[in-house]
Chains A and B, each alone.
Chain A
Amino acid sequence: MTAIPAAERALRRSGAWMAVALVLVAGVYVRALVFTPEEATQGLAQKIFYIHAPSAWVAFLACGIVGVCSLLYLFLKDARLDLLAASSAEVGTVFLTTVLVTGPIWGKTIWGAWWTWDARLTLTLFLWFICLGYLVLRGAVDEPGRRARYSAVLGILGALLVPFIHVSVLLFRTLHPKPVVLQTSRPQLPGSMLLTLLLSFTVFTIFFVALLVRRYSWARLRDAQAQSQAES
């Protein structure tokens, strides 16, 4: 088998990539906290945006990967797709947790409430429950084929929520702010704030990829070990 040495190499390298990614995230912190101007009406709490929005982007990207890999798994029955979906779901849940923690902190000072049952917030909470359900399901089913099939179905259903969450602020009357960058007109952010936001999006994506490579290569090795134990 040639895939296992490749997974071992990826696992060894991923530690260094994770360290680099964490240094880059620290750089985003410095850029956002020290070198990005304070917003005139929201004050310093507006800077929560620079970690909240990129975490949300990564969480949705992770759910998208889960959905695509799950769909492909149901057709191709390739265990690597199942492992990639599972890895992406776990890492994505971490980013989604950050979204659900940082959002209410911003909401408390700007809206005056930690939480409101607004469409986007509620759908994001539901997605988090689906992610948790996905991880619990994987832990509860021992037989690999059945586990992969069941979790693929749940993964696809979870990923279907992502586009609804994205357009929820446009479809419904919500408290959550509308997109300030992804819109048809020019971004509504001054250059220095936009630069910090784009930098943060890039760095958080790199951080996600580093975590995903680590989680996936570890899962591949574990899977191969379990297979060889079953064969011997």
Chain B
Amino acid sequence: MPPANGGYMIAAYVAAAVIYLSYSAWLLWRSRGR
């Protein structure tokens, strides 16, 4: 029976999404209109 650790999986996927989306948005915002 595998351990019930789906919460950790979700936390990691959400954290990665937050980091990548934040940086993408920041990069787009900095380089807008150039």
Contacts and interface: CB of A to CB of B under 8 A. Distances in A.
A154 interface: no
Interface in B1-34: 2-6, 8-9, 11-13, 15-17, 19-21, 23-24, 27-28, 30-31, 34
B6 A215 contact: no
A109 B27 contact: no
B13 A42 contact: no
A98 B19 contact: yes
Interface stretch (A44-52, A132-140, A177-185): A44-52
B34 A48 contact: no
Interface of A: 8, 11, 15, 18, 22, 25, 29, 33, 38-45, 47-48, 51-52, 55, 91, 94, 97-98, 101-102, 105-106, 108-109, 207, 211, 214-215, 217-218, 221-222
Given A98-B19, A98-B20, A221-B34, A48 B12 contact: yes
Contact of A45 (B3, B30, B31): B3
A98 B16 contact: yes
Given A18-B28, A97-B19, A214-B31, A51 B13 contact: yes
Nearest to A108: B8
A43 B4 contact: yes
- Taking each of B2, B15, B16, B28, which has the highest tally of chain A beta carbons within 10 Å of its own beta carbon? B16
B16 A102 contact: yes
Contact of A105 (B3, B12, B28, B31): B12
A52 B2 contact: no
A194 to B, nearest CB: 19
A42 B8 CA distance: 11
Contacts of A8: 34
13 contacts: A15-B28, A42-B3, A42-B5, A44-B5, A45-B6, A48-B9, A51-B16, A52-B12, A94-B19, A94-B23, A105-B11, A211-B23, A218-B30
Contacts of B20: 22, 25, 94, 98, 207
